[in-house]
Amino acid sequence: MSKQFDLIVFDWDGTLMDSAGVIAASIQAACCDLGLTEPSEQAARHIIGLGLNEAIAHLLPALPAADYPRMVERYRHHFLGKDQDIPLFAGAEHVVRDLHQSGFLLGVATGKSRRGLDRALNHTGLRAYFHSTRCADECFSKPHPEMLEQLMDELGTARQRTLMIGDTSHDLQMALNAGVPSLAVSYGAHLRADLLTHTPLACVDSIMEMETWLRANA
């Protein structure tokens, strides 16, 4: 069967790496450090995927912009104390490696900083499988389409031949804004019901289901 897509772009946190819980807990701890009301886990999970400044503005609209650096510092303090221990989802490395060996172009579009993504790529050993990556401190934050547009321009792929895979509504809305088909995963940060409102081609509940869907449809 001929390939339906040339480029497959993954979100990172909550899609390939099982980090949503650690991110949410780090956001909550940072708020407590600054004497702010601790957000619920659901509220903290909702901003996963956004750039840090956009995430703070969404979660803490009353916080003065002058206090953003303190919030970022406290978040990074808590997150960086744990990030070396955060695993990939079981089977994620196998899926990425197989797609690479099957001739797909692979990319990452993430709300992480460039330093954060580079650290994760090196730690997990996945760097060699990705042809290009974009981060929130290099482009407009999701759901703006710039990350996908830059990846498609660099790798020479058409919108209809590109697939975005992500676990948040921000990922799927970015795909819609870029005119790119998407695949939702429900095992990350956002609820299945929220993901389905963004009309993905499908919504899978595990890495194993993702692999099965990609084999049949990619």
Say what the pLDDT of residue 84 is: 85
pLDDT band for 1, please (50, 70, 90 cuts): low
Say yes or no: 33 and 104 in one domain.
no
Q: What are the phi and psi torsion angles at 107 (to 5°)?
A: -135, 170
Q: What is the pTM of this model?
A: 0.94
* Average pLDDT score over the chain: 96
Q: Which two tokens stand for residue 105?
A: 């172009």
pLDDT the model gives residue 81: 87
Residues 6+ apart with CB under 8 A from 35: none
Do 72 and 96 lie in one domain? The reply is: no
pLDDT tens-place string over residues 85-107:
899 999 999 999 999 999 999 99
Is residue 91 included in any domain, yes or no?
A: yes
Q: Is residue 105 part of a domain?
A: yes
What CATH number should be reported for the domain holding residue 213?
3.40.50.1000
DSSP state of 67: G
- Pair (102, 157) in one structural domain: yes
Domains contained in the chain, number: 2
pLDDT above 70 covers a percentage of the chain that reads 100
The answer to whether residue 52 scores a pLDDT higher than 90 is no
- Which of 51, 84, 117 is a domain's end point? 84
Q: In what order do the strands lie in the sheet with 182-185?
A: 132-134, 105-109, 7-10, 162-166, 182-185, 203-204
Residue 199 falls inside a structural domain: yes
Residue from 160, 183, 203 nearest 4 by CA: 160
The answer on 56 and 155 residing in a single domain is no
107: left (phi over 0), alpha (psi -120 to 50) or beta: beta
At residue 83 the predicted structure's pLDDT band, cuts being 50, 70 and 90, is confident
* Residue 77 belongs to domain with CATH number: 1.10.150
CA gap 50, 48 in Å, rounded: 6
In a domain, 49, yes or no: yes
Instruction: Among 84, 113, 135, give the residue marking a domain's end.
Output: 84
Instruction: State how far the Cα of 93 lies from the Cα of 207, in Å rounded to an integer.
Output: 10
Residue 6 φ/ψ region, left for φ over 0, alpha for ψ in the -120 to 50 degree band, beta for the rest: alpha
Q: Are residues 102 and 191 in the same domain?
A: yes
Judgement on whether residues 94 and 77 belong to the same structural domain of the protein: no
Do residues 99 and 180 both lie within one domain?
Answer: yes
* Tens digits of residue pLDDT in 141-185: 999 999 999 999 999 999 999 999 999 999 999 999 999 999 999
Q: Are residues 80 and 112 in the same domain?
A: no
- At 162, list the tokens: 């590109």
What is the domain range of residue 47?
20-84
Residues 73 and 160 in one domain: no
Predicted pLDDT at 161: 98
